[in-house]
Structure 1
Amino acid sequence: MDRMSAQKRRESVIRAAIAEFARTGYHGTSTAAIAKRVGVTQPYLFRLFPDKKAIFVAALMRSMDDTRLAFERADDGMEGGGQALRAMTGAYAHLMSTCPETLLMQMQGYAAVAAAEAQGDDLIGEVVRAGWMRIWETVHLSLGADADETASFFACGMLGNTLTAIGLPASAGR
């Protein structure tokens, strides 16, 4: 039987953490739940990550990267404008329907910023702001650097996120 490498196990932990944190948030998620989902012990989990916050940050970064990459792949070969907008809208709708935990994880990250910063911890806020700027830039450049169109795209996306978070289909916002 092949043993899973530490890097693959780490990736499994990040994916499990996204699912758990997306569902119950930072404070509502235990490292025991993450370890159980992956099939490892908590001590092994802490050999891969120093603490729960590091797991949360890794999950948050991955969910934001997954979103950015979905937009990047959708825009591959497009020449901006309406064609790029339709491709990225389709990619986002696909991501919301097939991986809602990716988007819900980001929403949990947004919620965690204020609580962490109120306690003097800027790390989560820095990760969220940097991830958001990378996503914004990817979409903004794909849409031909039109700020109003980019803002409108994200406004519709956030409505979709909110509807997904409360258990309604994104199409309910149309």
Structure 2
Amino acid sequence: MSLARLRLGEILAAVAAVGLLVVLGADWFELRSQVAVVGATSTGYASLGWFADALLIFAALCCLALAVSTATERAPQLPVALQTLAVVSSLVGLICVALRLIFQPSLGVGADDTSVDLLPAAYLGFAFTLMMFVGAWISIGDERTGSRFSREQTERVLNLPGVDRPVPLNGEGR
């Protein structure tokens, strides 16, 4: 395992995943009305619904697994698969969180959107979900073929005993 293998995308996605898992337990919405109980709140877990909760937890776990697999795996298959899963699941999670922030919950008393206030944790939840998506997206585009690990792997593949070294495509070595 080498943390030097982690790139900006994996670090951003992993930090955002941890932040999202923490902020989901905080209060996202608060009821402010003269006709109802003032101060009723709802956490991210309670207000998003079980499907969105499961999706966000899955996306966060994909982002964390992406960072771990990048740091530990020598072959790229698992990190590439996790990049794809992380991008798709965090994008769908981002849409779910955005819709919940637009269409706020009634907090069990039939309150309308004007009676429900967004708390800072709701904005943090949206920001962390966006950061997970951006981090996973960046990790897909960053192949970093010039890193020490990439060069070592290429040399290891090209120096297999009993296998002829392929002719370079750019005309070197002729």
Structure-2-length-normalised TM-score: 0.31
Structure-1-length-normalised TM-score: 0.31
Give the structure with the higher percent helix.
1
- Who wins on radius of gyration, i.e. which is larger? 2
Give the structure with the higher percent strand.
2
Relative contact order, higher structure (CA 8 A, sep 6+):
2
